[in-house]
Amino acid sequence: MIRKVFSQFFNGVFLITKEHNMPVTVILGTQWGDEGKGKGADFLAENADIVARFQGGPNAGHTIIIDGQKTVLHQVPSGILQPRPLCILGGGMVINPITLCQEIAALDKQGVQNIRGRLHIARNAHLILPLHRDRDARMEKSHAIGTTGRGIGPAYTDKISRLGFRAGDILSPLFKQKTRLRVDDYLKSIDEKEDALVLAEFFSACEDLRPFVSDTVDLIHSALADNKLVLAEGAQGTLLDIDHGTYPFVTSSNTTIGGACTGLGIPARAITRVIGIIKAYTTRVGNGPFPTELLDETGALLQKRGDERGATTGRDRRCGWLDLPAIKYAVKVNGLTEAWLTKLDILDTLSEIQVCTEYFADGFCAKASGVINCLETVTPSYVTVQGWEQEIRGTHKFEDLPQAAQNYVRFIEQRIGVPITQVGTGPDRTDNINR
């Protein structure tokens, strides 16, 4: 890669500065999550120097299947299954030390190499305390929105209230004392007694994580200065973004492109490639509006064929037709440079496929950006496309797909306005078509 050298005049002194290409690729979801980002990140990680999660926490579940062996990652970046990249849990994340240690132990047992040499936790990433999970459960009982119950929302609430504990605090000799005071205050507020065993497990996990806590901002910027490839991996999807999603049925972080900058401490100009993952149909876990939801046998078929169960909670995912107005909204909000289509093979048995191409509200055509917080009021308008009714699993060349399957991909591509450069034809790491 070419580096440009140029001069600046500052306070009477000429400065010679290097301009770097700073190649950051961001991969994120365009729907309500569960689009297949883990598989995509694993694919890209083969050539990446750093793979960094930029938001969310153990409410995410990224499933990767290699030679039939399934690995579900919740906090560790998907690049960990490739031997090359460093993996970073970014400052925009909220981390559960107990479950993270369990995840690391499971990867160790699986034989993943050099985890302790490759895994880094940002000093400014916030910690999920046992009290956050308790508070999450209590809030869900009184105001159900379908959270995973993992303490994510309360941890982010404490972050914004400047009451949170961060990974860097683990290194302080006062960490245990301050944490106990915080827990005591919470227990008094709910008239409960301390669960000493849970807190002891929490402190033990934090102690085990001490060696992983790093200056990840410097780590990433040093890589960028050397023009190394950084992959920023998102969790959940665009429609769950706290600011731009279907509020209040959203997650507690920014799942869209801006979250990569704030969650990792990188400038916007560093991002050169933005890949949006699109599932060939639509799914949603938890409560909230879902315009194209199918409550019939077709929805049940998609659920069964797609094995649509939450990787984190095990809950069945609600299934429906592909929603192009929502995808076009994700393209706009994130500035996608390309898209990858996943799980095309799940549609193999259908003779006809419906695709939502427009929303109507109050009798008028409506853009998703104008109705994103009231999707329950819209009526979807559909176009029927021909199905292919034959198995495509494992197909590796686009021209080997049935003509109807090729047409479906091209139809989506034309409607969303960005190229679909990869098509998933099965669950395994190698079940892809590169176009």
Q: Which residues are catalytic?
A: 34, 62
Q: In 10 A of CB 355, how many CB atoms?
A: 21
The percent of residues above 70 in pLDDT, for the chain, comes to 90
Averaged pLDDT for residues 339-358: 98
- pLDDT above 80 for 66: yes
Q: What is the pLDDT of residue 309?
A: 83
Ranges of H-type helices in 69-167 = 97-110, 115-118, 130-142, 152-160
- pLDDT category at 5 given cuts 50, 70, 90 is very low
Provide the residue type at 284 as one letter.
R
Averaged pLDDT for residues 292-313: 90
- Looking only at the bridges linking them, the beta strands covering 318-320 and 282-284 are antiparallel
Q: What is the pLDDT of residues 350-405, one digit of tens each?
A: 999 999 999 999 989 999 999 999 999 999 999 999 999 999 998 999 999 999 99
**Contact between residue 224 and residue 24 where contact means Cβ atoms under 8 Å apart:** yes
Provide the residue type at 380 as one letter.
P
Reduced to 3 DSSP states, what percent helix, strand and coil does the chain have, rounded to the nearest 5? Answer: 35, 25, 40
- pLDDT above 60 for 301: yes
- pLDDT category at 12 given cuts 50, 70, 90 is very low
Retrieve residue 366's tokens: 């409506």
Q: What is the pLDDT of residue 142?
A: 64
Mean pLDDT for the chain? Answer: 90
Q: What is the pLDDT of residues 214-226, one digit of tens each?
A: 999 999 999 999 9
Retrieve residue 286's tokens: 């938890």
- pLDDT category at 59 given cuts 50, 70, 90 is confident
Please name the residue that has the structure tokens 């909230």. 288
- pLDDT category at 146 given cuts 50, 70, 90 is low
Q: What is the pLDDT of residue 60?
A: 76
Retrieve residue 365's tokens: 């055509």
Q: What is the pLDDT of residue 17?
A: 37
- pLDDT above 60 for 7: no
DSSP string, 251-295: -SS--STHHHHHHHT--GGGEEEEEEEEESSEEE-SSS--TTB--
Q: Report whether CATH 3.40.50.980 matches the domain 278-434.
A: no
Q: What is the pLDDT of residue 434?
A: 95
Averaged pLDDT for residues 12-28: 63
- pLDDT category at 141 given cuts 50, 70, 90 is low
The answer for residues whose C-beta is within 8 angstroms of residue 295's C-beta and 6 or more apart is none
- pLDDT category at 286 given cuts 50, 70, 90 is confident
Averaged pLDDT for residues 129-143: 77
The answer for residues whose C-beta is within 8 angstroms of residue 170's C-beta and 6 or more apart is 97, 127, 206, 207, 209, 210, 213
Please name the residue that has the structure tokens 């019939």. 296
Among 71, 63, 201, 64, which residue's Cα sits nearest to residue 128? 201
Question: 71-80, 93-102, 140-149, 271-280 — which is least confidently predicted?
Answer: 140-149
Q: What is the pLDDT of residues 85-108, one digit of tens each?
A: 999 999 999 999 999 999 999 999
The H or E element containing residue 43 is helix 37-45
Q: What is the pLDDT of residue 20?
A: 46
- pLDDT above 60 for 124: yes
Q: What is the pLDDT of residues 250-259, one digit of tens each?
A: 999 999 999 9
Q: What is the pTM of this model?
A: 0.90
Q: What is the pLDDT of residue 21?
A: 61
β-bridge partners, 340: 277, 422
- pLDDT above 90 for 413: yes
**Contact between residue 324 and residue 331 where contact means Cβ atoms under 8 Å apart:** no
Among 432, 429, 434, 433, which residue's Cα sits nearest to residue 68? 429
- pLDDT above 90 for 2: no
Q: What is the pLDDT of residue 189?
A: 79
- pLDDT category at 205 given cuts 50, 70, 90 is very high
Q: In 10 A of CB 273, how many CB atoms?
A: 15
